[in-house]
Amino acid sequence: MESLAELLFVLASTDRLQVLSCLREEKEYRLSDIAQRLDSSIQEASKHVARLREQNFVEKNPSNGYYALTTLGKLVTKLLPSMEFLSENKEYLLTHNISSHPEEFIERIGELQQQHQYNAKAGLVLSFTQQVISEADKFVWLMSDHSLIDSDIVFDIERDKNRSLIWRMILPIGNKIDWQDLRSYAKNVDTRIEIGFSREIIAGIALNEKVAGLLLPDLRGSLDFNSGFISSSLSFCKWCQDLFGYVWKGSEKTII
């Protein structure tokens, strides 16, 4: 625990975190470059670099005097986005439960940090679902703890008749569906609809090939449709796609 406390103490500095960040981006830096990035003196930058070298996060190339991350430093910078995401969204995470997610996705939560936008207002999910559907060119994936199928927002023949989308939806087992209307829609727009019924809906997801939206259950286990995260970054979308795929794999599937 003592070595962990020392490690966390070294990281508990905005300037030292910035040094790690710039070395991750540029791979090598002279001390003068680091001082410029920190907007500090050479002496102050040297102190921060020295502390990072003590923990073996940073090393100096003796041939040219440049500083770079060690293999340990590179590993630390890969873990920092997870802590940053938790720190920036701690108020949301105090009132929402992610503990039901597989450990793999909790460990990868830093992938959600890149270019994400947090929104908290009524109607957020509904309007974002509209955006996902209207902007899709290839596919639409939706996961919800209640049916969206009967909504004209989701299935609109006039809007979709000139597109050939692949729909994939995850809904709770026992969800009631008007199969006749659904088959009529699929026939009129020449599309494929795949529905998976799952015993547990651990998140709300709306995504296409360009953008993804994510919302989590509240402390009672119900999805909170008034707040969530949106991003078009590759890592955010991949995290959402993989979580969707995890639930999809264990669902009971029907294809229309």
74-78 long-range contacts, CB within 8 A, separation 24+: 74/24, 76/11, 76/20, 77/20, 77/21, 77/23, 77/24, 78/110
Residue 69, Cα to own-chain centre: how many angstroms? 26
What pLDDT is attached to residue 68? 93
Q: How far apart are CA 70 and CA 201, in angstroms?
A: 41
Q: Which CATH class is domain 89-255?
A: alpha beta
- Cβ–Cβ < 8 Å for 226, 92: no
Among 194, 254, 215, 255, smallest CA distance to 128 is for 215
Residues of the chain falling short of pLDDT 70: 122-123, 149-153
Span 52-82, pLDDT tens digits: 999 999 999 988 889 999 999 999 998 888 9
Domain 2-79 belongs to what topology? Arc Repressor Mutant, subunit A (1.10.10)
- Cβ–Cβ < 8 Å for 247, 143: yes
What pLDDT is attached to residue 6? 82
Q: How far apart are CA 230 and CA 118, in angstroms?
A: 7
Q: How far apart are CA 88 and CA 109, in angstroms?
A: 13
What pLDDT is attached to residue 156? 79
Tally of CB atoms within 10 A around 9: 12
Instruction: Indicate the domain borders of the chain.
Output: 2-79, 89-255
Q: Which two tokens stand for residue 251?
A: 């669902």
